[in-house]
């Protein structure tokens, strides 16, 4: 069947198409110099329109393309249109049956995923979405037409939801599955720890993503979650004990974790290790050598003595070096040095030794040559940085020589060796699950070790527990962005938060949470308290009121209740505490730096030293160019790490926190705390 434009219609329309012919499953539109074939499987809609004199047919195609035929006699146009419409609809009805079968097969796959008794990983979503796209591509008609057919409509829309809102669908499905698991295995979550796990803890434990970051705020039970996670993997037979690796940052933390595992899981072959102990194992098994750890790593006094001795020798032997050191310490650090042979000054040596220790550690951790280190600096600081590196070179050489004489390695060398062995394939990782405690303290070097392990075993899952609000170790190389940009650094996965703290009351929690989140770069998370506080839970006092405060506390604090006195630096320990044992014999008072108090808790906390200036809090920036280049870049927010340090101090106390300020030169933090509701009192 065919429809042509009339002679006059053709002449007046001046259109490239003037004839249409119905084919077996399509139409052919043509003109004197043009021809266009439109198969039914590309046809979205046919419209018949009447002009002033003639008729018009309009064929709508994908991508908003329209083909028109003008100048046809109206009655003939209507007849052709009805015949074409009937033929197209018959074809469409047949094709909708085929489409329904294809879509139903895809729906059955989706239903299988929704009903399966395991976590649906985000990495699997991509495969499902690819299958849906392939199913759509296999349909014999345009997707937009599926809405017209009852048998196709619902299936099409469900597939479309998984394509367009896949992450939300996955999250909802996994939440339902997780809650089902919590009900089904209620006894496990009730008994795996001394206290039953709450819902957010339990959901973190069952999370089955390849990479999981658990944000565990202060006092929210991160150790319970780590132990329960290991127990869950064994309980569900997802791993053997020797396929689970637990990592902590210090020997004490690893020991406490092992004690907890033995207590809660029994004598299973799961051992928490430090990163250095892990590196040692990899080297032993990968090179069949047993590295000797240098005594210098455990003897701070010997370590500093070695560095000072070589520094003094360097200054004494080379006047140009002595001059350069004087310039470094006076111009960059602002220190006042004695005239003449300043390097012989014992007080200066004592002050400099921890700096030399830190600078050497940064260079050893970097692990590269001097040239590679210098290349890392930007153009503006490169020349100055190069001078500093060259001044440190003799100390680095002396350190390496001491290690060689001892036949030993240092901690930085351990991890570099372990990564090298892994990259050469001389050690194959047996671990399917790596669980890391205090993840916010991870450094690029340790992250490199994790990456090398996971490269060896592609099936390895990473379960990281930490709190970016408590990241306070940048000075030792920790890089916060490894946590805040977890997905970008470790791959697609999930982030969840433990939403309840068991330590402090809601007043302390509210102030601490609001204070730390004034930095917009901190990750947002809920942290609710189980106990109620009041306005007196946090109070700002003049620093002269410490004695009166302790007098008052002595009236109600029980002997077993702990009182932490916290300061930014060791030397800010109040002299008053020297007589505390006799003055307040029933008070359990301990002094700590805030860094040392991390992980501690007490009934009461007193924060001293809230002043401005060199020994103030927030601490003034004291980094040399060596630290600025070799340490991770700080966030672009004023006093970001110092703010987190105060958050740590605030969240040590269960009941009350007192902040003692210098009224003559107050800390900027005092004003900020007052602005969010912390009251000032003249007396306790």
Q: What are the DSSP calls for 403-436, one per residue? A: HHHHT-B-HHHHHHHHHHHHHTTSS----SEEEE
Structure tokens at 82: 């009805």
Half-sphere exposure in the Cβ direction for 14 (13 Å, CA): 1
Instruction: Name the strand (E) or helix (H) holding 272.
Output: strand 272-274
**In terms of domains, do 166 and 234 share one?**
no
* Residue 633, SS3 per DSSP: coil
Half-sphere exposure in the Cβ direction for 644 (13 Å, CA): 25
- Identify any residues that bridge with 602 across adjacent strands, giving them in sequence order: 653
Domain termination residue (choose one: 184, 206, 240): 184
**In terms of domains, do 40 and 166 share one?**
yes
How many degrees, rounded to 5, is the angle at CA 462 between CA 291 and CA 186? 125
- pLDDT category at 5 given cuts 50, 70, 90 is confident
CATH code: domain of residue 584 = 3.40.50.300
**In terms of domains, do 138 and 261 share one?**
no
Domain termination residue (choose one: 150, 184, 218): 184
- What integer is the mean pLDDT of 66-92? 93
pLDDT at 32 over 70: yes
Q: Can you give the C-alpha Rg of the chain in angstroms?
A: 35
How many degrees, rounded to 5, is the angle at CA 618 between CA 627 and CA 621? 25
- What integer is the mean pLDDT of 643-664? 97
What integer pLDDT is reported at residue 90 of this predicted model? 96
pLDDT digits (tens, 9 = 90+) for 557-591: 999 999 999 999 999 999 999 999 999 999 999 99
**Mean per-residue pLDDT over the chain, rounded:** 93
Contact 408, 434 (CB under 8 A): no
Contact 493, 212 (CB under 8 A): yes
**Cα 264 to Cα 193: distance, rounded to the nearest angstrom:** 6
pLDDT digits (tens, 9 = 90+) for 459-471: 899 999 999 999 9
Structure tokens at 329: 């310490």
pLDDT at 61 over 80: yes
Q: Which residue has the tokens 């014992």?
A: 346
Indicate whether 395 belongs to any domain: yes
Indicate whether 416 belongs to any domain: no
What integer pLDDT is reported at residue 277 of this predicted model? 94
pLDDT at 133 over 90: yes
pLDDT at 229 over 80: yes
Beta-carbon count within 10 A of 676 CB: 12
* Residue 204, SS3 per DSSP: helix
**In terms of domains, do 382 and 275 share one?**
no
CATH code: domain of residue 145 = 2.30.29.30
pLDDT digits (tens, 9 = 90+) for 381-430: 999 999 999 999 999 999 999 999 999 999 999 999 999 999 999 999 99
Domain count across the chain: 4
pLDDT at 115 over 90: no
pLDDT at 296 over 80: yes
Indicate whether 452 belongs to any domain: yes
What integer pLDDT is reported at residue 457 of this predicted model? 86
Indicate whether 511 belongs to any domain: no
Contact 566, 608 (CB under 8 A): yes
Q: List own/partner pairs for 344-348 with CB under 8 A and 24 or more apart.
A: 344/312
- What integer is the mean pLDDT of 211-221? 96
* Residue 216, SS3 per DSSP: strand
Domain that holds residue 360: 303-408
Residue by residue, what is the 3-state secondary structure of 98-141? HHHHHHHHHHHHHHHHHHCCCCCCHHHHHHHHHHHHHHHHCCCC
**In terms of domains, do 549 and 570 share one?**
yes
**In terms of domains, do 40 and 164 share one?**
yes
Beta-sheet pairing, 244-248 with 26-30? unpaired
Query: Which one, of 583, 586, 577, 580, lies nearest residue 559 by Cα?
Result: 586
pLDDT at 243 over 80: yes
Q: Who's near 198: CB < 8 A, 6+ residues apart?
A: 221, 499, 500
**In terms of domains, do 162 and 207 share one?**
no
**Cα 507 to Cα 532: distance, rounded to the nearest angstrom:** 7
Domain termination residue (choose one: 346, 376, 408): 408
Q: What is the pTM of this model?
A: 0.87
pLDDT at 352 over 80: yes
In eight-state DSSP terms, residue 144 is G
- What integer is the mean pLDDT of 207-222? 96
**Cα 480 to Cα 477: distance, rounded to the nearest angstrom:** 10
What integer pLDDT is reported at residue 9 of this predicted model? 65
**In terms of domains, do 307 and 402 share one?**
yes
Indicate whether 510 belongs to any domain: no
Indicate whether 630 belongs to any domain: yes
What integer pLDDT is reported at residue 163 of this predicted model? 95
How many degrees, rounded to 5, is the angle at CA 81 between CA 79 and CA 84? 110
CA 528 to each of CA 379, 438, 525, 656: distance values in angstroms, whole numbers, following the listed order: 47, 20, 10, 17
- For 228-269, the DSSP string reads HHHHHHHHTTSS-GGGEEEEESSHHHHHHHHHHHHHHH-S-S
Handedness of CA 411, 413, 416, 422 (dihedral sign): negative
**In terms of domains, do 653 and 550 share one?**
yes
Residues in the chain: 684
Q: Rounded to a whole number, what is the largest CA-CA distance in the chain?
A: 119
Handedness of CA 98, 103, 107, 108 (dihedral sign): positive
- pLDDT category at 267 given cuts 50, 70, 90 is confident
**In terms of domains, do 41 and 76 share one?**
yes
What integer pLDDT is reported at residue 13 of this predicted model? 60
In eight-state DSSP terms, residue 335 is -
pLDDT at 15 over 80: no
Query: Which one, of 659, 401, 371, lies nearest residue 538 by Cα?
Result: 659
Q: Who's near 365: CB < 8 A, 6+ residues apart?
A: 412, 443, 445, 477, 630
Indicate whether 413 belongs to any domain: no
**In terms of domains, do 30 and 118 share one?**
yes
**In terms of domains, do 137 and 16 share one?**
yes
Indicate whether 525 belongs to any domain: no
What integer pLDDT is reported at residue 525 of this predicted model? 92
pLDDT at 284 over 70: yes
What integer pLDDT is reported at residue 494 of this predicted model? 93
Structure tokens at 195: 């206290």
**Strand runs (DSSP E) across 457-560, as ranges?**
461-466, 494-498, 500-501, 528-529, 538-542
What integer pLDDT is reported at residue 615 of this predicted model? 87
Angle between helices 222-235 and 199-206 (to 10 degrees): 50
Structure tokens at 214: 């658990």
What integer pLDDT is reported at residue 166 of this predicted model? 94
Contact 650, 511 (CB under 8 A): yes
**Cα 176 to Cα 120: distance, rounded to the nearest angstrom:** 11
What integer pLDDT is reported at residue 11 of this predicted model? 63
φ, ψ of residue 155 to 5 degrees: the values are -65, -40
- pLDDT category at 620 given cuts 50, 70, 90 is confident
pLDDT digits (tens, 9 = 90+) for 152-199: 999 999 999 999 999 999 999 999 999 999 999 999 999 999 999 999
Contact 135, 106 (CB under 8 A): yes
Distance from the first to the final alpha carbon of the chain: 100
């Amino acid at each position: 069947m065919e429809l042509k434009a009339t002679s006059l219609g053709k002449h007046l329309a001046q259109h490239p198409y003037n004839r249409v012919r119905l084919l077996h499953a399509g139409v052919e539109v043509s003109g004197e110099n043009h021809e266009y074939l439109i198969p039914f499987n590309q046809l979205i809609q046919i419209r018949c329109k009447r002009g002033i004199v003639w008729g018009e047919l309009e064929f709508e195609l994908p991508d908003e393309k329209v083909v028109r035929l003008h100048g046809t006699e109206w009655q003939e146009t209507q007849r052709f249109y009805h015949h074409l419409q009937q033929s197209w609809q018959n074809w469409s009805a047949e094709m909708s049956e085929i489409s329904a079968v294809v879509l139903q097969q895809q729906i059955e796959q989706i239903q299988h995923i929704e009903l399966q008794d395991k976590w649906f990983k985000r990495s699997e979503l991509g495969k499902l979405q690819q299958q849906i796209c392939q199913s759509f591509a296999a349909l014999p008609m345009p997707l937009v037409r599926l809405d017209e057919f009852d048998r196709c409509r619902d299936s099409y829309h469900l597939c479309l939801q998984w394509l367009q809102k896949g992450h939300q669908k996955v999250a909802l499905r996994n939440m339902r599955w997780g809650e089902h698991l919590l009900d089904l295995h209620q006894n496990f979550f009730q008994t795996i720890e001394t206290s039953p796990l709450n819902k957010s803890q339990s959901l973190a434990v069952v999370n089955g993503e390849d990479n999981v970051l658990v944000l565990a705020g202060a006092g929210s039970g991160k150790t319970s979650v780590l132990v329960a996670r290991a127990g869950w993997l064994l309980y569900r037979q997802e791993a053997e004990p020797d396929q689970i690796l637990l990592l902590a940052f210090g020997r004490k933390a690893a020991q406490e974790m092992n004690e907890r595992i033995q207590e809660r899981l029994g004598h299973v072959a799961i051992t928490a290790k430090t990163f250095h102990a892990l590196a040692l194992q990899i080297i032993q098994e990968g090179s069949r050598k047993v590295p000797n750890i240098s005594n210098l790593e455990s003897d701070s006094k010997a370590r500093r003595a070695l560095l000072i001795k070589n520094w003094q020798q360097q200054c004494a032997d080379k006047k140009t070096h002595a001059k350069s050191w004087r310039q470094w310490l006076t111009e960059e650090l602002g220190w006042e040095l004695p005239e003449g042979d300043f390097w012989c000054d014992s007080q200066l040596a004592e002050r400099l030794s921890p700096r030399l220790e830190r600078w050497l550690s940064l260079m050893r951790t970097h692990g590269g040559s001097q040239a590679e280190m210098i290349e890392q600096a930007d153009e503006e600081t490169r020349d100055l940085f190069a001078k500093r590196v060259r001044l440190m070179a003799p100390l680095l050489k002396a350190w390496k020589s001491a290690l060689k004489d001892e036949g030993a390695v240092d901690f930085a060398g351990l991890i570099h060796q372990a990564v090298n062995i892994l990259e050469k394939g001389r050690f194959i990782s047996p671990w399917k699950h790596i669980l890391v405690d205090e993840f916010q303290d991870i450094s690029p070097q340790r992250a490199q070790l994790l990456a090398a392990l996971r490269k060896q075993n592609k099936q390895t899952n990473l379960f990281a527990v930490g709190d970016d609000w408590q990241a306070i170790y940048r000075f030792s190389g920790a890089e916060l962005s490894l946590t805040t940009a977890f997905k970008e650094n470790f791959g697609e996965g999930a982030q969840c938060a433990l939403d309840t703290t068991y330590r402090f009351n809601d007043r302390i929690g509210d102030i601490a949470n609001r204070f730390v989140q004034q930095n917009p770069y901190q990750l947002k998370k809920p942290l609710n308290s189980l106990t109620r506080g009041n306005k007196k839970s946090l109070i700002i006092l003049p620093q002269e009121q410490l004695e009166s405060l302790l007098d008052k506390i002595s009236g109600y604090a029980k002997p077993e209740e702990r009182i932490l006195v916290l300061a930014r630096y060791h030397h800010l320990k109040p002299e008053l505490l020297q007589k505390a044992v006799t003055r307040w014999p029933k008070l359990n008072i301990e002094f700590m730096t805030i860094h040392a108090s991390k992980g501690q808790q007490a009934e009461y906390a007193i924060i001293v030293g809230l002043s401005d200036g060199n020994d103030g809090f927030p601490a003034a920036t004291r980094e040399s160019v060596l630290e600025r280049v070799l340490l991770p870049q700080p966030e672009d927010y004023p006093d970001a790490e110092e703010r987190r340090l105060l958050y740590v101090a605030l969240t040590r106390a269960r009941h009350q926190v007192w902040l003692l300020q210098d009224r003559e030169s107050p800390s900027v933090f005092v004003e900020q705390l007052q602005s969010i509701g912390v009251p000032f009192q003249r007396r306790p």
